[in-house]
Amino acid sequence: MIRSYRDLRVWQRSLDLVVESYRVSARFPKPELYGLVSQLRRAAVSVPANIAEGHGREHLGDYLHSLSIANGSLMELETHLIIGARMGYLDDEELEPILQRCSEVGRMLAALLGALKRRRRSGHLTPGT
């Protein structure tokens, strides 16, 4: 049973993604600290933060909106990681596992969004149950 956003596997996996994003971006060059590193980390943190925020909202529409923002942040994170690789800050051995984790979180977000949309259509409107 889901009692808290902390019980959601997608939230847990997205936290793992934050930790991994911080780990890989720590090796980016110092001049990128306020550029690519900052944007990459913000996008990573936004994913679990928006999942949590949406879960805490009273209306299902707000939850769906927050999950959509989380998904957008996930796409932004992937883009920043790819840019980092193209700039030579990450090699393929570092990039591929984190992109796979992004894909996993993306699939989980899509499944949660789909389940919530079906719930809304069927008339079960409580977001946290």
Q: Tens of pLDDT along 67-87?
A: 999 999 999 999 999 999 999
Residue 129: predicted pLDDT: 44
- pLDDT tops 70 at residue 127: no
Residue span of the structural domain in which 42 resides: 5-121
Question: What domain count does the chain have?
Answer: 1
* Residue 71 backbone zone (phi > 0: left; psi -120 to 50: alpha; other: beta): alpha
- pLDDT tops 60 at residue 43: yes
- What span, in angstroms and rounded, lies between the C-alpha atoms of 75 and 103? 9
Mean pLDDT of 77-100: 97
Let me know if residue 127 belongs to a domain: no
CATH of the domain at 46: 1.20.1440.60
Let me know if residue 68 belongs to a domain: yes
Residue 126: predicted pLDDT: 53
> What pTM did the predictor assign?
0.92
Let me know if residue 129 belongs to a domain: no
- What does the DSSP assignment read for 9-74? HHHHHHHHHHHHHHHHHTTS-GGGTTTHHHHHHHHHHHHHHHHHHHHH-SSHHHHHHHHHHHHHHH
- pLDDT tops 60 at residue 66: yes
- What span, in angstroms and rounded, lies between the C-alpha atoms of 61 and 65? 6
Mean pLDDT of 11-20: 98
